Amino acid sequence: MPDHLSALQLILAGDPALFAIVRLSLGVSLAAVALAAAIGMPIGALLALTRFPGRPALVVLLNAMMGLPPVVVGLALYLLLSRSGPLGAFGILFTPAAMVVAQTVLILPIIAALTRQTIEDLWAEYRDELNAMNVGPIGRMTTLLWDARFSLLTALLAGFGRAAAEVGAVMIVGGNIDGFTRTMTTTVALETSKGNLPLAMGLGAILIVLVLAINAAAWGTRVWSQRLTG
């Protein structure tokens, strides 16, 4: 049977190994997005609403970190989480938890930077109104974050897309252990090198569908928000 038909058969038959990898990948990426949002959105909002010495340099650094090389992040985390590293006592190296940390580090700058730009634009628009109403710093932040919720959802989807497609960092800190820390991207790389093309093609197809769905969701969210605000 041709490889592409074998890959389709794996998907349609609900192959347990294939869908276990998909579930792990989605679980790791969604957890990373949640953590990155919880940390990155407040950071981005604070940068947008406060002025302090060194802020421009911090903004430039944050924007530059959006392009962090995954393998460098993976290496740094490996050194931190290994037994001889400062965080080795936690014992999470080569576990899904380490993979969540790696993806969180990668996508946090994306979410924080996009949040900063979005909130800064809204602050320029609503500054006079919020000042006239004597809204405090926390009130400003929560008000603007809520008003920007549709734009920020697009940022979250962008972060999820980066996380779902990442391979280098999670392979280094996860170890690519069969049945435990294999994600879609690491499995595609491994199985292709082994010549197991049906599994690699099946996972690749699912990954492409997910990426398309994410982009469609981002576009739909943008259109929906424009209609609501228009």
Q: Residue type at 82?
A: S
Parts of the chain with a pLDDT under 70: 1-4, 225-226, 228-230
Q: How far apart are CA 17 and CA 207, in angstroms?
A: 15
Structure tokens at 191: 């199985």
pLDDT in tens, 51-109: 889 899 999 999 999 988 999 999 999 999 999 889 999 999 999 999 999 999 999 99
Whether 114 contacts 155, CB under 8 Å: yes
The ranges assigned to domains in the chain are 3-229
| Phi/psi of residue 175, nearest 5 degrees | 80, -5
User: How many CA within 13 A on the CB side of residue 191?
Assistant: 23
* The CATH homologous superfamily of the domain defined by 3-229: MetI-like (1.10.3720.10)
Q: Residue type at 192?
A: T
pTM above 0.85, yes or no: yes
Q: Residue 52's pLDDT is what?
A: 86
Q: Residue 59's pLDDT is what?
A: 92
